[in-house]
Structure 1
Amino acid sequence: MHHPGPPRFATVGESVELAPRQPDPGMAAEWRLVERPAASTATLGDGPVCHLEPDVPGVYRAELIVPDGTHEQVIRAFPGVTETARFSVTADDFDGDELTVADRAIVIGTFNDFTMGTHWAERDGDEWVIEADLPPGTHHAIFSFDGSFESTATDEVTVEGPGRPRVELTSQAEDGDFVVSADARAAPSGSEPEVEFYLDGRDALEESAVTIDGDELRVPHEALPEMARVHAVAVAERHSVADTLVVERGGENGETGTGETVSVSRPADPPAWAGDATIYEIFVRSFAGETVDTTFEAIERRVPYIESLGVDVVWLTPVQASPTRHGYHITDFFDTAEDLGTREEFESLVDRLHDAGIRVVFDLVINHSSRDHPAFQLHRAGVPEYADYYERIPVSQDVSDVDWAGTDAPGYYFNWTRIPNLNYDSLAVRRWMLDVVDEWRDVVDGFRCDVAWGVPHGFWKEVRERVKADDPEFLLLDETVPRDAAFAENEFDVHYDTDLFDTLRDIGTGEEPASVLFEALDATAEHGYPDRAGHMRYVDNHDEDRYLDECGAASLQAAVGATFTLPGTPMVYAGQERGVEQQRGTMRWHDGDNALTDFHRRLVALRADHAALRVPGVCPVAHTVETGDADRVVAYERTDGDETLVVVLHFGDGTAKVSLDTIDEETDLLSGNPVGGDGTVEVGDIVVVPATRER
């Protein structure tokens, strides 16, 4: 079925891509805008993939005419909440020894999707200044005088204003009706929201059969079709991420009151296992050691080590054909890299990990290809069939030093001239990338989706329904940097937590006190992430300098301890536990830090043994630092109702003595060692103790 999917929610001025699902590259497809608010002049362009940019708040309705019929797509546009922000830098802010200044500087940030050549800062005296209309939150802009970005400067601004509200749907049978209730919660700094319900154009549930009263939607049981999807958003100053219920007749969950039952599911929720898991990221080509080439077979022979760590998931950086060590410049999406091994050898590795009870997450790279991919070569060489496979920008916008063939240039992010962006306005590309998804989804247990923020939301929604239809336990992990709650709307299960990552770095370098850790956690609600969304907590990954290198050994174990004792899914980047200091350095097998490795093993085991460390909710604990730097200490409580634990982290050198009135026992559950007495604990990096004293 080519129906374009669920209702879409956006702000005025935000472009919404509209596309038929299950595309055939040669299919006929036509869009028509059949309804728009009275004051709107918005239009849809030609082509099977269109973009609607709402110009006033309200409901827009578009029709898609395709071979299997005419389908309706609803787009609800809300007012945008923005403020003009000013970014500025001086020549002294730039890094690098040699700097050639100019009257204009290239500027990239989330406001232009990190695309160079679209925004320029003009010189104003000793400053280079640019203004942008931005929503509430903290924003960064990166400045450079050339396309290489070898020398850059960064500015940060905070736009005050409300966060996004949240909404969660529940259901029940009542007096022969099926009732959906919406629990709408205000943003931390926002007003109380109202609720808007929307039906799904793919279903036979008629609007005339539905009664809506405030935060409640009611349908007579006899009016329910075989399947119905109900969507809702909370609306205050800003709108929430939508929540969704899928209702199917004849299921086993939830009495209707008429003798027949319905099944109710929550398609946006992550699989339950993800919240209990620990992820282990392997940068593939550095894993086997100094003198041994890493292959699938070499990794398979080292599975006993991975198993000994107690982790539940292995995320492998790209294993497809690529001319690069890191693998993100893919030249064949359907085959493994020759230097790593055959497809059969890859599947043998997956089977071996499965035998050890470890799931495998595959690095799915579908925002771009290598510019050495045959498709891109044919595209630039003017082969008609490939004319629309990649993004095209005016050559005047290109700031690289590449002499591109033709009268335009490819689209790309940052200074990534070797990995041009695919064009998702092409049905052929959408079909191609869906085939890539199909190629690997039955082999592995999940996808970590590279540059997820560069691929259209509508496509990710289709991918989610596609992979979850056969395997609801399949994991989708997004790389959205910085984090963006929009990707939690029926798209991804687990999200990079860049707020906690950055905060742990700031604490580690001494720029911020340890207590700001709570602000990073509060940011999750401020962004508007649903309560059920998963978050990956980490201190290292392959794209960042190692925490050990940037912050030093004194605070590393406290930072790692935070990722394992706060809510979310902890991730260990291979080598982190062995004392590797280089971002993509070779795994230290013979000369690694065994004590640090054992520390990670104990953290994994502690989290697995204590449900209190895996549930939502963190409560700061009052404490007094008797000796040591109080700014380097933070304490909090974790409870699942049956057990309450107190976690104390110390990010400084040596040992801090900390008194708390919430504990009686002074045996550290992590090390098994006594840590003090009479409500006082001595903490080098982290202690975890039961809270047994009544307060």
Structure 2
Amino acid sequence: MHHPGPPRFAAVGESVELAPRQPDPDMAAEWRLVERPTASTATLRDGPISHLEPDTPGVYRAELTAPDGTHEQVVRAFPKVTEAVQFSVTTDDFEHGGDLAVADRAIVIGKFNDFTMGTHWAERDGDEWVIETELPPGTHHAIFSFDGSFESTATDEVTVEGPGRPQVELTGETEDGDLVVAADARAAPSGSEPEVEFHLDGRDTLGESAVTTDGDELRVPREALPETARVHAVAVAERHSVADTLVVECGRKSEDAGAGETVSVSRPADPPAWAGDATIYEIFVRSFAGETVDTTFEAIERRVPYIESLGVDVVWLTPVQASPTRHGYHITDFFDTAEDLGTREEFESLVDRLHDAGIRVVFDLVINHSSRDHPAFQLHRAGVPEYADYYERIPASQDISDVDWAGEDAPGHYFNWTRIPNLNYDSLDVRRWMLDVVDEWRDVVDGFRCDVAWGVPHGFWKEVRGRVKADDPEFLLLDETVPRDAAFAENEFDVHYDTDLFDTLRDIGTGEEPASALFEALDATAEHGYPDRAGHMRYVDNHDEDRYLDKYGDASLRAAVGATFTLPGTPMIYAGQERGVEQQRGTMRWHDGDNDLTDFHRRLVALRSDHAALRAPGVHPIPYTVETGDADSVVAYERTDGDETLVVVLHFGDGTVSVSLDTPVADTDLLSGDPVGSDGTVKVGDIVVVSAPNGR
């Protein structure tokens, strides 16, 4: 059906994209706004895809007229919570060269403008470049680019004081046949106690007149329950939470009259249970086979015994589709594999081999953009009418590339990625095309890592989730949102990049932050408003970043990796990290790799697999004293699942430190098997994991 999906929640000023699901490019569909708050002047544009920008708090109701009927989309807008801030840099802040003396303006990008070049400019004031904007509470970063090419850049950071987002979690049960939905609403750190709003779903026949609400509880009489009902809720204080959802399904026990009904309740936004226990192994495909042979699917398949030996549960492969580039993110055919890697059959053989080893496969889904060499883009630029709306267009005044686009418009793109133009999701053709791409690969693999997830509309990701999870609830969706954004946890993605911990581990590696700062990084998850059940990928390396080993050395690397395996979340190893590869996308070191470092990673994977306490939620900092060594380079914490308690001590530095713990612990390191001390004092080179008495 073409119904646009669940109710949408936004702050005033945020644009909400409205689009039919299961689009047919030739379908006739129109939107109209049938209700808006009294003070609002918001409108919708004509056509099958529109955008609502709420201008005052309240409820907006839009109607979609589609071939299968008329559908309602509710948008609940909450007050905007922002503050005017100023980013500024001086000439001395700019890296590299460039004649800044003649510059009048600098391009500024950040999360606040989705890293889009040419939309925001800093004006020069003497030796300083300054830009003002409005931002919500939190820490924000801006990149100033002197020439638009990232050859000369500077960065600034500002913090807007204020509360984070509250949280809400729904549970449902039957009482005397009635459905009772309870909402557990929790205040944001430094926020006030929230209230709960319940919302129904326009896809269901359950109407508002059939339900009663009382504070944090919603009740539906048994006789009013339809076959399927979806209940949504948000917690509302200074800001609103990510919405939570329950799906209620009602079915008869038998065909006999009076046999009654069974009611089941499920949570469609939760990640699959296996994801929290898994370890991910990212393979940059074209560097994996080694120095003297080309990487192919067959070559990777022959090396599966090595992957298996690491004990990992998931392999994430960087793009395997047709592309003229080594990294593969410039895709020229979304439906076929790259010739240099092998055929579709050879790819599926690799997947089967990994499955035989008990390893799931995550496919790099790239649907924000295509290569500039894709036929669709070439036809678009050449004026073929059928492709006119396939790609974003920006005015010439916003284009800062050095490309002669031969027209008054240019393709939209992020950063300085002029070779990978953004697709236009205001086009039904594009939406149908990309849904076909999803369908093409979802039955072959076990999950998608979604590239540039922030560039694709939320409504489309919600449709993708519903599409893949309907047939396989265990399918994994991993987002790339940099920096992280809890909005993508609302019925969209299962596991999220944890950029807070990533950045903090690097700051600890440089000595800019003490090791204890990792607790602040974990606390940021609650500040952002992520649901407790959301998954987070913890990592120290990936293919887009400089190697931790190259920047901060072996000792800090081991402690940082130890953190990713002993804190809650889903740890990820970037292939080569465990072999001592120092180049960002460097060739795998097979013949001269660091076997001791490899064994270190194997032992961490096994330790986490063997001890449920390391996979449990919750981290408890514990008191300790650094007897010898740098206190700022040490951190200690407790992990427990109720049955077992472990103490983890990390040391980000060279040599060995002596750490006295305030709790008795065993004298044997579970990771190395070596004795580490006695009477609560442990010797730590990089990481020690020891047993402690339970029930503290």
TM-score range, shorter chain: over 0.9
Who is 1:45 aligned against? 45
Rounded Cα–Cα distance in structure 2 between residues aligned with 1:508 and 1:84 = 33
Q: What letter matches 1:139 in structure 2? A: H
**TM-score, normalization: structure 2?**
0.98
Moved over 2 A (4+): 97-101, 257-260
CA distance in structure 1 between the partners assigned to 2:510 and 2:433 by the alignment: 45
Higher mean C-alpha deviation, range 96-105 or range 581-590: 96-105
Quote how far apart the aligned CAs of 1:145 are: 1.6
Contact 1:613 1:638 in 2 (8 A): yes
After TM superposition, the structure 1 = structure 2 runs for residues 325-364 of structure 1, keeping only pairs within 5 Å, are 325-364=326-365
What amino acid is the match of 2:9? F
| % same residue | 89
Counterpart of 2:671?
670
Distance 2:663 2:90 in 1: 50
- 8 Å CA contact retained: 2:580, 2:597: yes
Amino acid corresponding to residue 534 of structure 1 in structure 2: G
1:636 partnered with 2:641: no
| 3-state SS, counterpart of residue 269 of structure 2 | coil
- How high is the TM-score relative to the length of structure 1? 0.98
Cα deviation per residue 1:632-668 (whole Å; 9 max; x = unaligned)? 0000000000000000000011000001122231100
2:93 corresponds to 1:96 = no
Q: Which moved more, 1:296-305 or 1:663-672?
A: 663-672
Amino acid in structure 2 at the alignment position of 1:63 = E
User: Residues 18 and 51 of structure 1 are in contact (CA less than 8 Å); yes or no, is this contact kept in structure 2?
Assistant: yes
Q: 2:16 maps to what in 1?
A: 16
Deviation at 1:260, TM superposition (A): 2.6
> Residues 354-433 of structure 1: matches in 2 within 5 Å?
354-433=355-434
**Equivalent residues in 2 for 1:655-666, closer than 5 Å:** 655-666=656-667
User: Does residue 125 of the first structure (1) align with residue 131 of the second (2)?
Assistant: no
Aligned to 1:447: 448
Matched with 1:227 is 228
Structure 1 CA distance, aligned partners of 2:260 and 2:252?
Answer: 12
2:55 aligns with 55
In structure 2, distance between residues paired with 1:686 and 1:554: 10
Separation in 1, partners of 2:252, 2:548: 49
Q: Which residue is 2:588 aligned to?
A: 587
CA contact (8 A) 1:231 1:242 kept: yes
Residue in 2 that maps onto 1:296: 297
Q: CA deviation at 1:261?
A: 1.8
Asked if the contact 1:381–1:405 (Cα under 8 Å) also holds between the matched residues in 2, the reply is no
Q: Deviation per CA, 1:208-241, whole angstroms, max 9, x where unpaired?
A: 1100111000000110000000000000000000
| Structure 1 residues not aligned, in runs of 5+ | none
Label 1:131 to 1:578 Cα distance change in 2 as closer, same or farther (>3 A): same
Deviations 1:587-609 (A, max 9, x none): 00000000000000000000000
Counterpart amino acid of residue 478 in structure 1: D
Alignment partners' CA distance in 2, 1:662 and 1:294: 51
Q: Distance in 1 between matches of 2:64 and 2:44?
A: 11
| Whole-angstrom CA distance in 1 between matches of 2:321 and 2:592 | 30
CA distance in 1, matches of 2:252, 2:514: 52
Secondary structure in 1 matching 2:632: helix
User: Which range moved further: 204-213 or 660-669?
Assistant: 660-669
| CA-based RMSD | 1.1
SS at match of 2:51: strand
Q: Which moved more, 1:658-667 or 1:512-521?
A: 658-667
Are 1:34 and 2:20 matched, yes or no?
no
Contact kept? 2:643, 2:694, Cα under 8 Å: no
**1:4 and 1:413, CA in 2 relative to 1: closer, same or farther beyond 3 A?**
same
Q: Deviations over 1:534-560 (max 9, x none)?
A: 000000000000001111112000000
Structure 2 contact 17–459 (Cα < 8 Å) conserved:
yes
Q: Look up the SS of the partner of 2:688 in the other structure.
A: strand
Residues in 1 aligned to 2:693 and 2:655: alpha-carbon distance in whole angstroms: 27
Offset of residue 694 of structure 1? 7.1
Q: Counterpart of 1:600?
A: 601
Q: Is the 8 A contact 1:663 1:693 kept in 2?
A: no
Superimposed CA distance per residue, residues 319-360 of structure 1 (whole angstroms, 9 cap, x where no aligned partner): 000000000000000000000000000000000000000000
CA distance in 1, matches of 2:476, 2:695: 40
**2:174·2:263 contact (CA, 8 Å) conserved in 1?**
no
Partner of 1:567: 568
* Structure 1 residue 76 corresponds to structure 2 residue 76: yes
How many pairs align? 691
Aligned counterparts of 1:664 and 1:5: Cα–Cα separation in 2? 53
1:275-329 deviation digits (Å, cap 9, x = unpaired)? 0000000000000000110000000000000000000000000000000000000
Distance, in Å, in 2 between the alignment partners of 1:99 and 1:20 is 50
Aligned to 2:530: 529
User: Quick one: distance in 1 between partners of 2:466 and 2:81?
Assistant: 31
Distance in 1 between the 2:191 and 2:200 partners? Answer: 27
CA distance in 2, matches of 1:280, 1:593: 17
Asked if the contact 1:619–1:636 (Cα under 8 Å) also holds between the matched residues in 2, the reply is yes
Counterpart of 1:625?
Answer: 626
1:301–1:251 CA distance, 2 compared to 1 (3 A): farther
Per the alignment, in what secondary structure is the counterpart of residue 514 of structure 1?
coil
Partners of 1:339 and 1:675 in 2: how far apart? 50
Residue 258 of structure 1: how far off its partner (Å): 8.8
Shift of 1:385: 0.1
